[in-house]
Amino acid sequence: MSTETMNQGVSRRRFLAGMIATTAASVIGGSLLAPRNALAASEMKPIMDRHVLSGSHWGAFRAKVVNGIWVETVPFEKDKHPTDMIQAVREVVYNPARVKYPMVRLDWLKHGFRSDTSQRGDNRFVRVPWSQALDFFYHELERVQNEYGPSALYAGHTGWQSVGKLHSAGTMMMRAIGLHGTYLSKAGDYSTGAAQVVLPYVAGAMEVYEQQTSWPLVLEHAKTIVIWGSDPVKNLQVGWLVPDHSPYAYYEQLAEKVRRGEIKVIYVDPVVSETQKMVGGTQIKLNPQTDVPLMLAIAHTLYTEQRYDKDFIADYTTGFDKFLPYLLGVNDGIAKSPEWAAQLCGVPADEIRKLARQMASGRTQIIGGWCLQRMQHGEQYAWMLVVVAAMLGHIGLPGGGFGFGWHYNDAGAMTSTGPLMSGFSGVTGVNPIHNGSYRGYSPYIPVARFVDCIENPGKTIQWNGHDITYPLMKMAIFCGNNPFHHHQDRNKMINAWQKLETVICVDHQWTATCRFADIVLPATTTHERDDIEQYGNHSNAGILALPKVVEPMFEAKDDFDIFRELCRRFDREEAFTEGKSQMDWIEHIYNGARLQGRGLGVRLPNFKKFWDETGFVEFSGGQPWVRHESFRKEPDLEPLGTASGLIEIYCKTIADMGYDDCQGHPMWFEKNERSHGGPGSQAYPLNLQSTHPKHRLHSQLCSSTEHRATYAVADREPVYLNTQDAKSRGIRNGDVVRVFNDRGQVLAGAVVTDDFMPGVCRIHEGAWYSPLEGGKPGTLCTYGDPNVLTQDIGSSRLAQATSAASALVDIEKYTGAVPAVTGFHGPSEVTDINPLFPAMDL
């Protein structure tokens, strides 16, 4: 959180608290004020006040519930750095985009899997009873398995869902569908798709999700911290589990050390980040997508000025000799010198040398983000960052080396000595009913290629040393994720989607994925069911009960019950539940941790006491820890997980794959779209960042009306752009603008700011796709989904990861009549049809 938002946070919280207490009904909105039992309760009983301690991806909180209605949210007192987003969580339950009932798309109800799929996205739906929706679901599973086998059924696509060890929506889906039959699954993720494939070859581990060196040690030992394309202060607001936000205390201490001149912090970023605003330090403004040239030039300087650690290179790495000819330009005649890099990255050669010398002058901690590997050739950035760190020789020392996960999951906080809970499992050990052949197709696909797969069945691509032949996908199930926000090139996606016969979406918000589905099932939010979760991610600070805050709205059901009832239709209910109720499962999960705790010498109260009385157990802090320390101390006994056990500057395994776009050592590859004079910049001059939102978790909270009003500009998602770029286009702060390229067009609200360098603009990912004409490829998005503009290509043959961050656009002031935003109001319900008369052929 920046100081700016922290200050605003307090006053906004007070303001909201006062407002909600007095006008709960008007704030929440009449039609949504009718949770099933709450209204009845309020008619009969006197005012009932409860305070419920619970948690979310945004942190823990106490919910004030009056007469069955959640009216106020107070951050958990143990969270010293709560995010403002916590105030928007309540709205997730009440906002107008709630999925209220099971819904079936009009033409699918009429014609089943033979429906006119070009109508998908027109948002016309019919309400059906739960039993009918689940019957359709089951019959479609049967049909697809019998007719095509598992490769036609895509059910492995998961996402950010909600916290809770039991109600993991994606796990529920995979467990239930897996009991019915095998299916097509995915490999990798959108977050770190390139880094998680290349880094195991280079550094022996994924590196991205792992704990980092404890902050107290970094603060004590680092002389220089280089934050490379990362914004921890923005991104640590959320966590995969309930975050405790404890690292913010260290960022405050870092800010103090920067003020006193004790640590130098350098940001390599085209944008002044939230971290820079809070911590201070200096920015190296480089042209987007040119980080690898800058890193090569740092390596070139370290080598030619003999500032690199020869002993470290000799003792802990392999392949420097094979990389050196490339660095020096022996074969291609191009030395990767600061002068060479300066032309690409726009950073003057002298400044590059100064940076290299600063990094070599003492202990240097490099903090690398993930946006840079969400690009074409994103593997090269991750690999080259390790090479620079190896040349500096500080890997495995406190306050030195590289780390790729500092902005994620409370990283750098001390890990407690407490036990870890295991969750509900996606596999059961019970054989599926259908276990057909994949018929020569791959049983999995690299996740970010899934639309390419739908579009091009039978095509063979290379991935990480394997050939992947795309199957003919007929049916897809999404639960706890939102592909119509997270996937790139929306218009390509809309076209490809027409090839699918049946799409099922389980969610509690009427997202664009619901619009483009055939059967939509309403799930409860975390706050309408009981669950349990870890408090603190890497810190593992304790265990938190997540008791139900309010009763389920409308006809929402828990994912557990949805899939249990689906399993009942093929006689696998018992296998799904293992004979346990939800509460049995929660107790079982807790007791697993309790038992583990005994082994660790950590005593936990019995479940009843935990659940009924405290709802929270806290674990005591652990010992400071240094990443890669054991490897540094004993490289023979504690080798890395690479082929050689050493850091691989040259990797034979990758070289032997023979890919032209990812070779045996890190290299600079020109991008197919790059701003600042790069390819495509004549037509579309602006680099489009679609980094992670300051005010949301992806698309989650975008449908929270009040919260959206705190950051939207002219009702649209903000697009941030530089003053000069705005001026030359006649754009002023607050204008509605059209952002466009050959792939599509969106409206957005202009925020003119010199925090962004010229030629760089940003729309945060997760802005809801809001088509002017639903289902029509190329139509204007009325709210500002950046994935209308991004390109859908693999990073390289190695990882086939998303290249969302390689996109160019232009912006113009929008002069037409500004249409209303279309995305947040749920389906257009068609009522003049008898839902019990589907002409479909089951």
Ligand X SMILES: Nc1nc2c(c(=O)[nH]1)N[C@H]1C(S)=C(S)[C@@H](COP(=O)(O)OP(=O)(O)OC[C@H]3O[C@@H](n4cnc5c(=O)[nH]c(N)nc54)[C@H](O)[C@@H]3O)O[C@H]1N2
Contact residues toward ligand X (CB under 6 A) are 159-162, 167, 169, 190-191, 228-231, 234-235, 237-238, 268-271, 273, 286, 288-289, 291, 369-372, 374, 407-408, 479-482, 485-486, 506-509, 511, 523, 559, 689-694, 696-700, 765-766, 786-787, 790, 804-805
Nearer to Mo ion, 224 or 690 (CB): 690
Binding region for Mo ion (CB under 5 A) out of 59-67, 183-191, 240-248, 642-650: 183-191
Piece of the chain touching Mo ion by CB under 5 A; list 136-144, 191-199, 386-394, 737-745: 191-199
Smallest gap from residue 371 Cβ to ligand X (A) = 3
- Cβ(811)–Cβ(774) below 8 Å: no
Measured CA to CA, the distance from residue 733 to residue 735 in angstroms comes to: 6
| Site stretch for Mo ion (CB under 5 A), options 51-59, 124-132, 189-197, 309-317 | 189-197
Of 264 and 632, the one with the shorter C-beta distance to ligand X is 264
Considering the complex, state which of residue 20 and residue 523 has its C-beta at the smaller distance from ligand X: 523
- Nearer to Mo ion by C-beta: 191 or 722? 191
Taking CA atoms, 556 is separated from 92, 534, 602, in Å, by 13, 25, 38
Quickly count: other Cβ atoms within 10 Å of residue 43's Cβ: 8
Which CB, 191 or 803, lies closer to Mo ion? Answer: 191
Q: Please list every residue from 136 through 165 that binds Mo ion, using CB under 5 A.
A: none
Q: Which of 699, 679, 793, 781 is nearest to 740 (CA)?
A: 781
Alpha helices per DSSP H over 569-638: 573-577, 582-600, 607-609, 629-633
Binding partner of residue 196 among Mo ion, ligand X, none, CB cut-off 5 to 8 Å per kind: none
In the structure encoding, which two tokens stand for residue 757, read together? Answer: 């360098």
Give residue for tokens 């979310």: 56
3-state helix, strand, coil in the chain (%, to 5): 35, 20, 45
Size of the site for Mo ion (CB under 5 A): 1
Q: Assess 690 for contact with Mo ion (CB under 5 A).
A: no
**Least separation, in Å, of the C-beta of 617 and ligand X?**
24
Q: Tell me which residues in 797-836 interact with Mo ion (CB under 5 A).
A: none
Sheet holding 69-75, edge to edge: 49-56, 59-66, 69-75
CB of 323 to ligand X, least distance (A): 22
Binder of residue 538, out of Mo ion, ligand X, none (CB less than 5 to 8 A by kind): none
CB nearer to Mo ion: give 191 or 787.
Answer: 191
Smallest separation, CB 235 to Mo ion (Å): 10
Contact present, 540 and 242 (Cβ < 8 Å): no
> Rounded distance, CA 336 to CA 600, Å?
52
- Of 143 and 696, nearer to ligand X (C-beta) is 696
The DSSP H or E segment spanning 677 is none
Residue 628: contacted member of ligand X, Mo ion, none (CB under 5 to 8 Å, by partner type): none
Indicate which of ligand X, Mo ion, none lies near residue 481 (CB less than 5 to 8 Å, by partner kind).
ligand X
Q: Which is nearer to ligand X, 313 or 702 (CB)?
A: 702
Nearer to Mo ion, 175 or 407 (CB): 407
| Contacting range for Mo ion; rule: CB under 5 A; set: 38-46, 185-193, 559-567, 769-777 | 185-193
User: Which whole-number Å values give the CA distances from 41 to 67, 195, 257, 682, in the listed order?
Assistant: 7, 53, 55, 64
* Residue carrying the six token digits 């936000």: 245
Asked if residue 488 binds Mo ion (CB under 5 A), the reply is: no
Which residue lies nearer to Mo ion by CB, 191 or 442? 191
**Residue 175 binds what, of Mo ion, ligand X, none (CB under 5 to 8 Å, by partner type)?**
none
The rounded distance, in Å, linking the Cα atoms of 574 and 564 is 8
- Backbone φ and ψ for 460, nearest 5 degrees, come out as -110, 130
Given Mo ion, ligand X, none, residue 379, with its beta carbon under 5 to 8 Å by kind, binds none
Cα angle, residue 218 at apex, residues 212 and 222 outer, rounded to 5°? 130
Nearest to 232 by CA among 218, 221, 220: 218
Q: How far is the CB of 488 from ligand X (least distance, A)?
A: 6
When CB distances are held under 5 to 8 angstroms depending on the partner's kind, the choice from ligand X, Mo ion, none that residue 699 binds is ligand X
Q: Confirm or reject binding of residue 704 to Mo ion (CB under 5 A).
A: no
The angle subtended at Cα 218 by Cα 213 and Cα 219, nearest 5°, is: 145
Strand partners, 754: none
Residue 509 main-chain phi, psi, to 5 deg: -115, 140
Does position 787 bind Mo ion by CB under 5 A?
no
Binding span for Mo ion by CB under 5 A among 186-194, 269-277, 722-730, 809-817: 186-194
Contact segment (CB under 5 A) with Mo ion among 27-35, 188-196, 260-268, 400-408 equals: 188-196
| Contact assessment for residue 653 and residue 645, using Cβ atoms and an 8 Å cutoff | no
Q: Shortest gap between Cβ of 191 and Mo ion (angstroms)?
A: 3
700 binds, among ligand X, Mo ion, none (CB under 5 to 8 A by kind): ligand X
- Closer to ligand X by CB, 57 or 434: give it: 57
Backbone φ, ψ for residue 60 (5° rounding): -95, 155
Distance (Å, whole) CA 582 – CA 611 = 14
- Rank residues 203 and 562 by Cβ distance to ligand X and give the closer one: 562
- Long-range CB contacts (< 8 A, 24+ apart) of 590-598? 590/421, 590/532, 590/543, 592/421, 592/422, 593/419, 593/420, 593/421, 593/543, 594/419, 596/419, 596/420, 597/418, 597/419
> Which of 442, 703 has the CB closer to ligand X?
703
Q: How far apart are CA 139 and CA 519, in angstroms?
A: 12
Selected range binding Mo ion among 132-140, 187-195, 327-335, 807-815, rule: CB under 5 A: 187-195
Return the range that interacts with Mo ion (CB under 5 A); candidates 184-192, 233-241, 403-411, 722-730: 184-192
Tokens of 747: 């409206």
Q: What are phi and psi of 202, to 5 degrees?
A: -90, -45
Residue 172 Cβ vs ligand X, minimum distance, rounded to whole Å:
8
| CB 439, min distance to Mo ion, A | 33
d(CA 45, CA 354): 72
For the chain, first and last CA: distance in Å?
53
Q: Which residues contact 696 (CB under 8 A, 6 or more apart)?
A: 85, 702, 764, 766
Q: What is the number of the residue whose Cβ is closest to Mo ion?
A: 191
Taking the complex as a whole, the smallest distance from the CB of residue 161 to ligand X amounts, in Å, to 5
Q: Which does 369 bind (CB under 5 to 8 A by kind): ligand X, Mo ion, none?
A: ligand X
The entry of ligand X, Mo ion, none near residue 480 (CB within 5 to 8 angstroms by kind) is ligand X
Instruction: Indicate the residue among 191 and 273 with the shorter CB distance to Mo ion.
Output: 191
Q: Which of 151, 162, 191, 416 binds Mo ion (CB under 5 A)?
A: 191
Q: How many residues does the chain have?
A: 842
CB 251 within 8 A of CB 418: no
Residue of this chain nearest to ligand X (CB atom): 159
User: Which C-beta is closer to ligand X: that of 300 or that of 486?
Assistant: 486
689 binds, among ligand X, Mo ion, none (CB under 5 to 8 A by kind): ligand X
| Chain contacts with Mo ion (rule: CB under 5 A) | 191
